[in-house]
Amino acid sequence: MLDLRTLALITMMSAMVFAFATAMVWRLVPGERSLRDWTIGSALMAASTLLLGLRDIAPDFVSIVVANSALVLSLGVLHLGTRNLFGLGAGPPWRWLASAAMFLACIYFTYVAPSLAMRLIALSVLVSPLVAACAWLFWRHQEAPVRTVHRLTAMMFGVGALMFIARALAAPGAAVSANYTSTSSGLLAAPYFYSILFNLWMVVMLALTVSARLQRRLTLALGSADATNRELNAMLENDLVGIVKVRERKTIWANRAFESMLGYAKGELAAIPTRQNYPDDASYLAFGAAAYPVLAASGIFRSQIEHVRKDGKHIWVDLSGAMLDKATGESLWAFVDITERRRLEQSIAESERRMELALAGANLGMWDLDIASGRFTHDPRLVTMLGYDPGREVVTDKLFRSLLHPEDAPRFGSAFYAHLKGDTSRLEVEYRMRHQDGHWVWILSRGKVVERDKRDRAIRMTGTNADISARRKAEAE
């Protein structure tokens, strides 16, 4: 005869080992939900086998009803843990219904129609689907690094399902003591032996699976960190933007772009005071007074300043900086060489100044018409020649029509639209406009379409207006 109490206690200890192992790993990997479920499930299994071993010591309600219901519940929780292991979620709640059915069956076959065989059949019938479901999950969702381990686990669950089915079939004729404390049937005792091996194997499976997952996560994290590091290096070692770390107004690191920008060799700027990059002491001190209070307040300072290259040539840079470490005063700066842009801006400004002088000398008012939008821009002389304040009056289509002499409107419109259509090479038309004090001013407008679309429609037109009243008066005399 096999002592079922002893087997139950040994099973309980193996389940406690399983529970302890999962609890320890759960503390190390708290985000793995399956570990929580397995810890709870294995603890329930340990409790249920302990209660089963207390037959004839504890009340029947505890050693039969609660013990068997807890056993089915533990396997339900293990099934939930298996689903969470493979990221499948909780799924249908049938596992909890199996626990409830076991509780009712134990009540009925213990107190209403006592039958040990029926309790064994009910337990086996309700446990086998749970064990089979776990077998299917491990077989269906094998993970590459531990594929063999998962296959063996699936096979172990599968053997368990077949064993419980065979146990259900053999229960009616099995030889077992009335109080279910001993048996001569190896099939009825087999679940205990199976559970002992199962619990020990699950510890091994758990260790290998979690280790493989952690290794995979570490590999992905290292790969991501390596990619981020390459991207950061690419940004820092670019050819366009100079990047500098500064502490106590000394260069502690500069990328190759900044060194090239100022004409230095690699590493030549290290530990060099930034003062040598400024044209003079005044600009150096002024920059520090403006920039570092902004950085100290966790702000970002932006400016355009002049720097001096190693060869003495002056360049203009667009810079921005931010504080990296307030304790050490370390800051990070980005520089873009805008010397050519500044030169072009100055050249354009000089050209505009010269044009302005030329237009002023000829008493011409310049205008620009965006034909598609109707936007009309002009310089101040266009309105001052009519006696208006350029700060208050802007020429619009409505104002132009109201000031145009009625007799000259057809001539102006004919010349204007002929040039828009391309019938004339340029616009040149004389007409009268009313001065603010009421008299008529003769205007000579010269213009040209400077931009057309793909269908040859005029888009933009520019030109000048000149006051020719004196000439017209001389011609009339």
* Predicted structure pTM score: 0.51
Q: Is pLDDT of 356 > 70?
A: no
CB 162 within 8 A of CB 142: no
Mean pLDDT across the stretch 298-318? 93
| pLDDT tier, 225 (very low <50, low <70, confident <90, very high otherwise) | low
Mean pLDDT across the stretch 283-301? 93
Structure confidence at residue 114 (pLDDT): 85
Helices (H), 2-93: 4-28, 33-52, 60, 67-85
CB 247 within 8 A of CB 261: no
Mean pLDDT across the stretch 326-351? 86
**Exposed (0-12), middle (13-18) or buried (19+): which is 8, by Cβ within 10 Å?**
buried
In angstroms, the first-to-last Cα distance of the chain is 146
Structure tokens at 261: 């920008």
Structure confidence at residue 358 (pLDDT): 59
Structure confidence at residue 395 (pLDDT): 76
Structure confidence at residue 280 (pLDDT): 93
- For 75-133, what is each residue's pLDDT tens digit? 999 999 989 988 888 888 888 899 899 899 989 988 888 888 888 889 889 999 999 99
- For 371-427, what is each residue's pLDDT tens digit? 888 888 888 888 888 888 877 767 778 888 899 999 999 999 999 999 999 899 999
Return the biggest CA–CA distance within the chain: 146
Structure confidence at residue 417 (pLDDT): 92
Structure confidence at residue 185 (pLDDT): 65
Q: Is pLDDT of 281 > 90?
A: yes
Q: Is pLDDT of 448 > 80?
A: yes
- CA dist 349 and 368 (Å) reads 18
- For 243-270, what is each residue's pLDDT tens digit? 999 999 999 989 888 999 999 998 899 8
Q: Which residue shows structure tokens 């096999």?
A: 2
Structure confidence at residue 235 (pLDDT): 58
Q: Give the angle 238-240-242 at the CA atoms, nearest 5°.
A: 80
Paired strand residues for 272: 251
What DSSP line would sit under 309-322, residue for residue?
-TTS-EEEEEEEEE
Q: What is the dihedral of CA 454, 455, 459, 461, to 10 degrees?
A: 100
CB 317 within 8 A of CB 336: yes
Mean pLDDT across the stretch 150-161? 91
**Quick count: other Cβ atoms within 10 Å of Cβ 102?**
24
Of 64-68, 113-117, 292-296, the one with minimum mean pLDDT is 113-117
Mean pLDDT across the stretch 215-241? 69
Q: Is pLDDT of 33 > 90?
A: no
**C-alpha distances out from residue 287 to 41, 88, 90, 261, Å:** 68, 61, 63, 19
Structure confidence at residue 349 (pLDDT): 74
Structure confidence at residue 390 (pLDDT): 78
Q: What are the residues whose beta carbons fall under 8 Å from the beta carbon of 347, sequence distance 6 or more?
A: none
Structure confidence at residue 167 (pLDDT): 83
| pLDDT tier, 221 (very low <50, low <70, confident <90, very high otherwise) | confident
What DSSP line would sit under 229-253, residue for residue?
HHHHHHHHT-SS-EEEEEETTEEEE
Cα 122 vs. chain centroid, distance in angstroms? Answer: 53
- CA dist 290 and 297 (Å) reads 12
- For 166-199, what is each residue's pLDDT tens digit? 888 877 765 555 556 666 666 667 888 888 888 8
